[in-house]
Amino acid sequence: MAIKKTPADPTNPASEEAALEDFKEEVGFEIRVTIESVEDIVVARQEGRALVQSLGFSTTQATLIATAISELARNIVLYAITGEIILSKTVNGHQVGIVIIAKDHGPGIPDLKHALMSGYTTSGGLGLGLPGVKQIMNSFDIQSEPGKGTIVTTVMWL
Ligand SMILES: Nc1ncnc2c1ncn2[C@@H]1O[C@H](COP(=O)(O)OP(=O)(O)OP(=O)(O)O)[C@@H](O)[C@H]1O
Ligand SMILES: [Mg+2]
């Protein structure tokens, strides 16, 4: 497991916290969590919750966002074994949002249309993860290529 918060000055670890605060004010701020175990799902969830609460999202919204992050990270562990969750702030005029990117180089999804339907599962799950994330978030994009991997990009605005 690895969490990388960028950008920070690698030559000055003491400045990291201060740098983090500064960069939360900028669009370039980004948190990367490597996903390869169930523990990493919890870390990604916690990082997402902390980030959105620092941006001013309500507890209810933070819980929904944490749920979306969990579902995407759970899919990575289950289907792709390893991958990455990238969390960042986005700004559109005066609007602030969170971007969640879930990225893996796993088997990909051959039938995207079905994968987005409630109840479609290849693992005996509920098949509610992806449709749930799509419903929770304000925007949802999925790119997947069999044999290459999957990238989900999703945004929620404050
Ligand atoms: N990252 C991924 N890589 C490969 N296949 C995936 C990935 N994410 C989802 N899938 C495929 O899409 C299907 C639907 O995913 P979804 O999360 O909606 O449901 P589920 O994981 O089967 O069940 P649930 O999430 O409700 O426990 C999965 O069963 C799987 O076949
Ligand atoms: Mg799932």
Write the residue with the smallest CA distance to atom 25 of ligand 1.
129
Average pLDDT, the chain: 89
Write the residue with the smallest CA distance to atom 4 of ligand 1.
108
Ligand 1 centroid, distance to 134 Cα (angstroms): 13
Give the tens place of pLDDT for each residue, 68-83. Answer: 999 999 999 999 999 9
Indicate whether residue 66 lines ligand 1 (CB < 6 A).
no
Indicate whether residue 82 lines ligand 1 (CB < 6 A).
no
Which ligand 1 atom minimizes the distance to the CA of 83?
Answer: 1
Spatial separation of the C-alpha atoms in residues 83 and 61, rounded to whole Å: 25
pTM value is 0.87
Spatial separation of the C-alpha atoms in residues 76 and 158, rounded to whole Å: 26
Domain 3-157, what fold?
Answer: Heat Shock Protein 90 (3.30.565)
Write the residue with the smallest CA distance to atom 29 of ligand 1.
121
Give the tens place of pLDDT for each residue, 23-43. Answer: 444 445 799 999 999 999 999
Give the tens place of pLDDT for each residue, 114-151. Answer: 999 999 999 999 999 999 999 999 999 999 999 999 99
Q: What are the extents of the domains in the chain?
A: 3-157
